[in-house]
Amino acid sequence: MIYPVIMAGGTGSRLWPMSRQLNPKQFLKLTDDKLSMLQLTVARLKSMEAADPTLICNEEHRFLAAEQMRQAGHDDARIILEPCGRNTAPAIALAALQLAKTVDENEDPLMLVLAADHLIQDTPAYQAGIARAIPLANQGKLVTFGIVPGHPETGYGYIQQGPALDEESFKVNRFVEKPDQKTAEEYLASGDYLWNSGMFMFGARTYIEELKKHRPDILAICQAAMDDASEDLHFVRVNENVFADCPEDSIDYAVMEKTDNAAVVSLDAGWSDIGSWSALWAVSEKDTNGNSFNGDVIAQNTANTLVRADSRLVSTVGVKDLVIVETKDALLVAHKDHVQDVKKIVETIKNDGRHEHMNHREVYRPWGVYDCIDNGSRYQVKRITVKPGAKLSVQMHHHRAEHWIVVSGTAKVTNGEKTYLVTENQSTYIPIGQVHSLENPGVIDLELIEVQSGSYLGEDDIVRFDDKYGRS
């Protein structure tokens, strides 16, 4: 039995404007029309002898992660919430400590550590590589998966193979940083180097012991944070005050480069970390002109271009080698050779005090989703969808009133001392300062239009009195 641990942190800023801080790339449908990157990662575990995955994600992504795991058929998946990012060594330590206390103390459960945002195009080869790693991990090896390089890539770290352990497994000679072009070409020509995938397999207790040996400071804080963790539904909430003092370090630096027990299994399974728009173009299906189009696109005399149209028609004439990404609130146009600089655009947006790096116009909540379809200085219009059985918090606002118009479904409204139903084509009014709540008692989605009016319309003008999802 293996215990998958899926790391779902990070913001994927190089894939802006689709990837946002509150809805990053691991939760997006980038390479599949039906499944997100996280859900594809989970789906690749099917038919394997594996336990329910443990997910590690940021506190702010907890409901999005839980909903996607539910859709993937893992309602009871354990989700460890990092109150702040401290890189991969501490994140994996949290999962190892959680797993070690849930199994027999004489067992060293095998952790399969995966990233939630990687693409694997050959699932059988991927599963065969995992199977080859199991006996090595059972022998106490810390196994990493090295990708057979297809070209001299400067965007990945590399692993130099040491002596062979079997036909496709080797001791690790060394880890090396991202090389320049000339060095990458030399690595490829030598045949001794593999791309560092950031995927691992090892015993949970083995990892804990190695961390104790090489980074006892990280282990001590992670242990203290987990000792004082709380469980809420299927969330494990790590103690924020303790974990905030944890040093930041990657598993490569903290353990893998220092241990004497590192092994690498070579993997040739159509892997990509989808780290940029050009990487997504490279793995996407293309037409005869080398174009990859998604959405409503009309092109003339266009070549080697990626276009993703989210909400409107995008047309191109006489262009090549471009990336064009349109969302409801932003448009990116970039040359494919410069997509790494998209991160600089995100930094500029942050520094200018804008919000387009934070979320899309559509915002997901544990009860459903809302879309800000119009706004002005003293008004805002939202389209709200509430899932069956879901309920917004009991709340009030100091600075705004709200009109609700039901488009479809039935709303159960608490408005001060009154509770009543509002059905299709009916409306209700919530005055400023009135305690209220909204619930969907039906079996179909509740859709309504909310018109807010007042002197301040920010999301922080919410005073919650009760919330079924544990939000403060």
Homologous superfamily, domain 362-466: Jelly Rolls (2.60.120.10)
CA angle 367, 370, 373 (to 5 degrees): 170
* φ, ψ at 347 (rounded to 5°): -65, -40
Q: What is the pLDDT of residue 102?
A: 87
Q: Distance between terminal CA atoms of the chain?
A: 38
d(CA 468, CA 390): 9
The model carries a pTM of: 0.91
Residues of the chain with CATH 2.60.120.10: 362-466
d(CA 208, CA 5): 15
Residue 105 binned pLDDT confidence (cut-offs 50, 70, 90) = confident
CATH 3.90.550.10 spans which residues of the chain? 2-272
What integer is the mean pLDDT of 193-210? 97
Query: How do residues 395-407 score in pLDDT, each as one tens digit?
Result: 999 999 999 999 9
Average pLDDT over residues 273-283: 95
pLDDT tens digit sequence for 210-262: 999 999 999 999 999 999 999 887 899 999 999 999 999 999 999 999 999 99
Asked if 297 and 309 touch (Cβ cutoff 8 Å), the reply is: yes
Q: Helices 88-100 and 216-227: crossing angle, nearest 10°?
A: 50
* pLDDT reported for residue 185: 95
* SS3 at position 65: helix
Provide the sign of the torsion angle of the four alpha carbons 183, 189, 191, 192, taken in this order: negative
Q: Which class would CATH give 2-272?
A: alpha beta
| String of DSSP letters for 328-371 | SS-EEEEEGGGGGGHHHHHHHHHHTT-STTT--SEEEETTEEEE
Query: What is the per-residue pLDDT across 8-63, written as a single tens digit (0 to 9) for each?
Result: 998 889 999 999 999 999 999 999 999 999 999 999 999 899 999 999 999 889 98
364 pLDDT band (50/70/90 cuts)? confident
Q: Is residue 167 very low, low, confident or very high in pLDDT (cuts 50, 70, 90)?
A: confident
